[in-house]
Amino acid sequence: MEDEVDRLVAAWRRERPDLDVEPLEVLSRVSRLARHLDRARRTAFAEHGLEPWEFDVLTALRRAGSPYQLSPGQLLTQTLVTSGTMTNRIDRLTGKGLVKRLPDPDDRRGVLVRLTGDGRDRADQALAGLLAHERELLAQLTSGQQGELAALLRLLVAPFDNIPG
């Protein structure tokens, strides 16, 4: 089946036949798919009363394992946002009673953000909901194709994740 990117690439070939627009076949699809996924995630989380950004923070803490705490700095690297954004997120999650701030006993500049019981429950529920939705989207692909796709994407992401940038 054809998609928007097929149309986009065809248009460039018509308008700029001098250019090689092959890279768009991959990267424009990544960007557009991510945008669609964001919207779908927003809908999925709404069923659990969470915003996507709340999910990102809560699940990062949940994944850390008991006692479910990380520093704001660790949260930054996992969620790819700036420090000002993270401060704001922690403030709002604290207001909702989903996390709380504790002083870091080893570094008085630092803070530890810890999941509350309520926060942990919400994270677990939302994760289950998200996985159900994502499984539907991926039903287009065989299990083997999913593996291929994951492996190819890993090759592209790894440089960003390993070389500081």
Partner DNA sequence: TTTGGATATCTTGATGTCGAGATACTTGCG
Partner DNA sequence: CGCAAGTATCTCGACATCAAGATATCCAAA
Could you tell me if 160 and 71 are in contact, meaning their C-beta atoms sit under 8 angstroms apart?
no
Q: Pick one of 41, 89, 120, 122: the residue that binds DNA (CB under 7 A).
A: 89
Closer residue to a second copy, CB minimum distance, 104 or 154 = 154
Measuring CA to CA, how many Å separate 23 from each of 7, 9, 41, 132? 14, 10, 27, 32
Q: Does 146 bind DNA (CB under 7 A)?
A: no
Closer residue to a second copy, CB minimum distance, 3 or 47 = 3
Q: Pick one of 42, 97, 137, 149: the residue that binds DNA (CB under 7 A).
A: 42
Q: Facing residues of 112 across strands? A: 102
What track of x and - describes contact with DNA for positions 54 through 83 (by CB under 7 A)? -----------------xxx------xxxx
Closer residue to DNA, CB minimum distance, 42 or 154 = 42
49: left (phi over 0), alpha (psi -120 to 50) or beta: left
Q: Facing residues of 70 across strands? A: 113
Q: Where do runs of H (alpha helix) occur along the chain?
A: 4-15, 22-46, 52-63, 72-79, 83-95, 117-137, 143-162
Could you tell me if 123 and 61 are in contact, meaning their C-beta atoms sit under 8 angstroms apart?
yes
Out of DNA, a second copy, none, what residue 111 binds, judged by CB under 5 to 8 A for its kind, is DNA
Residues that bind a second copy (CB under 8 A): 1-6, 8, 11-12, 14-16, 19-27, 29-38, 62-65, 78, 80, 124, 127-128, 131, 134-135, 137-138, 140-141, 145-150, 152-162, 165
